[in-house]
C-alpha cells in the first residue's frame, strides 16, 4: 500500500505538506499543491482512515441506532439518513436495538467503541445508566429521535404522534362515528402513549364520553388486529369504526372484517397509522396518518452534522408534523 511517505518522496516535499493537502488545512503554495496532487493520483494514494482517526480523533463516521433496519418503517428512515450522510461526506455505521434495553445499549457501546463522531438514536427504552455515563464522559454528540428521557441528546427530533392521532380521531368523529374501537400498541412505547393522549383530546373536545371508545392493547402486528377483531365481533360488540394503532394492525382488522362478511367501509370504517408501504395496497385503500420517516432520518443527520461543525444546537427540539392521508377506508355513518 502507498502511504503518505511515498507521496512525499515522489513529490519531493515533507509528509506534513502532503497532509496539508489531503486534509485540506494549512497553507500550501499552488506550485507544491499541484505537484503533490499529481503524485497522489499517479501513485493512487488513499489516506489511511485509521491512522488519521487515531491522530485527529475524527472519523467522519456517524453511528445510527434504530429499532430494526429490516422493518420498512425504519428502513425508510435509514434511507433518509444515508442520503444525508453521503451529502455530508460521512459514512454510517448502523445497528438495531430491537426495542430491548440491553440490545440498544450494547448497540450504542459498539458505535462509541468504533469512534463514531456522533450518534443518531431511535430508542424505545431509557439508555442504561452505565452507557449514559460513558456518553456524557465522552462528550460525543447525540441526536435523539423520539424520546429523551435522560437528556442525553444535544438535539431531539420528535414526530407528532399526538396530533396525528388527534386528527385521525377527529376525522372519525366528524364522519359521525361514535362507537369506535381503538386497537392500540403496547403502552411501553412512548409513541403509543402519545397517540392515546391525542385520541382522548379529541374526545374531550367533542364532549364524547371516553367510555365510548373501547381500547385494547396488543403488539403492533397484523395478527393482533386480526384476532382481536374476530374476538370483538364474536362477542357481539357493536362498532362502526376501528382506529388501528398502526397499519399492520389495520391490515389484520380488514382481513377479519372481510372474513366475517362485512363490507368496507360501508359496514365498518378503518383508519390506520404510519402510512406504511402496504397501506395504499389494502382494499379498501387505507386512510391513515403518515409519519415522515425519511425526512426525519435526513433531518437527524443534518442536525448532527451541524453540531459536529461546531454549531451550538443545545436544547434544540424539533417536532415534525404527521399528516392525515385520506383514502377509502373511512366513510360517513
Partner DNA sequence: ATGAAAGCGCTAACAA
Partner DNA sequence: TTGTTAGCGCTTTCAT
What does the binding site for its own copies look like in residue numbers (CB under 8 A)? 1, 44, 46-51, 53-54, 59, 61, 68-72, 74-76, 78-80, 82, 91-96, 110, 112-115, 134, 138, 251, 277-278, 281-283, 294
Q: Does 1 bind DNA (CB under 7 A)?
A: yes
d(CA 78, CA 56): 28
Q: Considering only CA atoms, which of 220, 213, 263 is closest in space to residue 237?
A: 213
In the bound complex, what is the minimum distance in angstroms from residue 76's beta carbon to its own copies? 5
- DSSP SS3 for 309: coil
In the bound complex, what is the minimum distance in angstroms from residue 36's beta carbon to DNA? 9
Nearer residue to DNA within complex by CB, 29 or 235: 29
Nearer residue to DNA within complex by CB, 39 or 194: 39
Nearer residue to DNA within complex by CB, 26 or 176: 26
Nearer residue to its own copies within complex by CB, 2 or 201: 2
In the bound complex, what is the minimum distance in angstroms from residue 23's beta carbon to its own copies? 14
* DSSP letter, residue 321: P
Q: Does 59 bind DNA (CB under 7 A)?
A: no
Nearer residue to DNA within complex by CB, 117 or 274: 117
In the bound complex, what is the minimum distance in angstroms from residue 115's beta carbon to its own copies? 6
d(CA 275, CA 154): 29
Q: Does 9 bind DNA (CB under 7 A)?
A: no
Phi/psi at 11 (nearest 5 deg)? -90, -10
**Grid coordinates belonging to 190:** 412512548
d(CA 295, CA 158): 12
Nearer residue to its own copies within complex by CB, 285 or 320: 285
Q: Considering only CA atoms, which of 305, 283, 310 is closest in space to residue 61?
A: 305
Helix (H) or strand (E) holding 217: strand 213-217
The angle formed by the CA atoms of residues 301, 306 and 309, to the nearest 5 degrees, is 125
d(CA 11, CA 32): 8
- DSSP SS3 for 112: helix
In the bound complex, what is the minimum distance in angstroms from residue 27's beta carbon to DNA? 3
Nearer residue to its own copies within complex by CB, 237 or 281: 281
Task: Number of residues interacting with DNA: please give it, by CB under 7 A.
Answer: 30
Q: Does 155 bind DNA (CB under 7 A)?
A: no
Nearer residue to its own copies within complex by CB, 70 or 236: 70
d(CA 252, CA 93): 35
d(CA 225, CA 230): 9
Stretch that binds DNA, among 41-49, 205-213, 228-236, 243-251 (CB under 7 A): 41-49
Q: Does 260 bind DNA (CB under 7 A)?
A: no
Q: Which value, to the nearest 10 degrees, does the dihedral of the CA atoms of residues 176, 182, 187, 193 take?
A: -10
Characterize the bridge pairing of strands 323-325 and 288-290: antiparallel
In the bound complex, what is the minimum distance in angstroms from residue 80's beta carbon to its own copies? 7
In the bound complex, what is the minimum distance in angstroms from residue 172's beta carbon to DNA? 58
Judged by beta carbon distances under 5 to 8 A according to partner kind, the member of its own copies, DNA, none in contact with residue 20 is: DNA
In the bound complex, what is the minimum distance in angstroms from residue 3's beta carbon to DNA? 3
Half-sphere exposure of 154 (CA within 13 A, CB side): 24
Binding-site ranges for DNA (CB under 7 A): 1, 3-5, 12-17, 19-20, 22-23, 25-29, 31-33, 45, 47-48, 51-52, 54-56
Amino acid at each position: 500500500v502507498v502511504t503518505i511517505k511515498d507521496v512525499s518522496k515522489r513529490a519531493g516535499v515533507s509528509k506534513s505538506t502532503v497532509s496539508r493537502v489531503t486534509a485540506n488545512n494549512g497553507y500550501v503554495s499552488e506550485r507544491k499543491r499541484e505537484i503533490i496532487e499529481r503524485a497522489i493520483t499517479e501513485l493512487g494514494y488513499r489516506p489511511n482512515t485509521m491512522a488519521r482517526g487515531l491522530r485527529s480523533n475524527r472519523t467522519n463516521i456517524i453511528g445510527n441506532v434504530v429499532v430494526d433496519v429490516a422493518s420498512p418503517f425504519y428502513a425508510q428512515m435509514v434511507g433518509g439518513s444515508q442520503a444525508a450522510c453521503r451529502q455530508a461526506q460521512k459514512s454510517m455505521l448502523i445497528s438495531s436495538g430491537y426495542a430491548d434495553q440491553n440490545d440498544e445499549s450494547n448497540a450504542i457501546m459498539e458505535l462509541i467503541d468504533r469512534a463514531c463522531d456522533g450518534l443518531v438514536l431511535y430508542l424505545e427504552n431509557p439508555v442504561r445508566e452505565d452507557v449514559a455515563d460513558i456518553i456524557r464522559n465522552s462528550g460525543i454528540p447525540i441526536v435523539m429521535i423520539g424520546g429523551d428521557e435522560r437528556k442525553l441528546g444535544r438535539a431531539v427530533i420528535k414526530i407528532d404522534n399526538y396530533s396525528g392521532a388527534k386528527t385521525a380521531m377527529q376525522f372519525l368523529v366528524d364522519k359521525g362515528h361514535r362507537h369506535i374501537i381503538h386497537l392500540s400498541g403496547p403502552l411501553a412505547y412512548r409513541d403509543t402513549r402519545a397517540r392515546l393522549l391525542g385520541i382522548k383530546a379529541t374526545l374531550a373536545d367533542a364532549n364524547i364520553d371516553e367510555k365510548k371508545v373501547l381500547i385494547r392493547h396488543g403488539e403492533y402486528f397484523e395478527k393482533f388486529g386480526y384476532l382481536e377483531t374476530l374476538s370483538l365481533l364474536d362477542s357481539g360488540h357493536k362498532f362502526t369504526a376501528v382506529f388501528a394503532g398502526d397499519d399492520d394492525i389495520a391490515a389484520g382488522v380488514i382481513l377479519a372484517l372481510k372474513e366475517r362478511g362485512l363490507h368496507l367501509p360501508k359496514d365498518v370504517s378503518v383508519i390506520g397509522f404510519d402510512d406504511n408501504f402496504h397501506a395504499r395496497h389494502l382494499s379498501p385503500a387505507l386512510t391513515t396518518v403518515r409519519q415522515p420517516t425519511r425526512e426525519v432520518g435526513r433531518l437527524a443527520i443534518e442536525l448532527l452534522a451541524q453540531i459536529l461543525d461546531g454549531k451550538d444546537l443545545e436544547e434544540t427540539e424539533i417536532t415534525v408534523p404527521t399528516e392525515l392521508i385520506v383514502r377509502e377506508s373511512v366513510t360517513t355513518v
